[in-house]
Structure 1
Amino acid sequence: MRLMSQAARFSYTSLATIWPTLGRDDWTGLTTYGSPQSFFCDYSAESVRMTDAKGVEFTTRQVIHTERADIKQGDMVLIGESALASPLAAEAFEVRAVTRFADTFDNVADDFKVMT
């Protein structure tokens, strides 16, 4: 298990679940996802107009703050824990953009703002 900064240990007390994007099935064209994984976070429900890495404008549904560094655009996330194999069955949201911030206080792990 990776070390968390003091600030993250204090503020990231909620759990969320991620289904990482593995790729597309060549036959069906459907996106395939990895197994669900829980992580610590803080979150808010915000409706903000943003632009993703591809330049596509979207309106956020949720904003998640975490130290988890491997979340990327296209992954699926859900506030709370889920063991369901399908992020669609769990009603997870697609990650549309991720912003990285420095770990100003402890220099242990950077912080990330994940927008769905």
Structure 2
Amino acid sequence: MSSIANWSYTAKATIWRKLAGKDENGDPLGYAEPEIILCDYEGGLSKRIGSLGTEIVVNNTVWTEALAAAGDYLLIGESTETDPVRAGADEVRQVIRYADTFERLADDYAILTGV
């Protein structure tokens, strides 16, 4: 972790990473065990119209050095619940990558969750 990230990412969030692949019925395999990450966050940033005309509401934006992917689930705060939906987590909709401008140790990510 860069010294700047160490200073700025002081909040905790829980991430459930979507497991790769599908079972014999074609259903998703579920999610990995919850993982606690360091972050900072802001709630309720914006609304936009998607390419198919559906409205996507950004619930939270989380800044962190931990990479996530669309389809993962994220909850601000700590949780040991194995089911992200039951824990109240939001689905990761988009991840934006930013360079570590000052130290070049680890990139930063803006993780946008939506409902």
User: TM-score normalized by structure 1?
Assistant: 0.85
In structure 2, the partner of 1:61 is 59
Q: Tell me the SS of whatever aligns to 1:78.
A: strand
Q: Which portions of structure 1, spanning 4 or more consecutive aligned residues, are displaced by more than 2 angstroms? A: 23-31, 49-52, 54-57
Task: Give identity over the alignment, percent.
Answer: 41
> How far apart are the structure 2 equivalents of 1:56 and 1:104?
35
Q: Does the Cα contact within 8 Å between 1:46 and 1:61 map onto a contact in 2?
A: yes
Give 1:55 deviation, angstroms.
9.5
* 1:57–1:101 distance in 2 versus 1, CA, 3 Å: farther
Runs of at least 5 residues in structure 1 that lack an aligned partner in the other structure: none
Give 1:49 deviation, angstroms.
2.4
In structure 2, the partner of 1:105 is 102
Give 1:89 deviation, angstroms.
1.0
Runs of at least 5 residues in structure 2 that lack an aligned partner in the other structure: none
Q: Tell me the SS of whatever aligns to 1:96.
A: strand
* 1:55–1:25 distance in 2 versus 1, CA, 3 Å: farther
Q: Please list the CA deviations of residues 74-107 of structure 1 after superposition, one character each: whole Å capped at 9, or x if unmatched.
A: 0000001100110011010000000000001111
Q: Tell me the SS of whatever aligns to 1:32.
A: coil
In structure 2, the partner of 1:35 is 33
How many residue pairs align between the two structures? 111
Q: Counterparts of 1:68-107 in structure 2 under 5 Å?
A: 68-69=66-67, 71-107=68-104
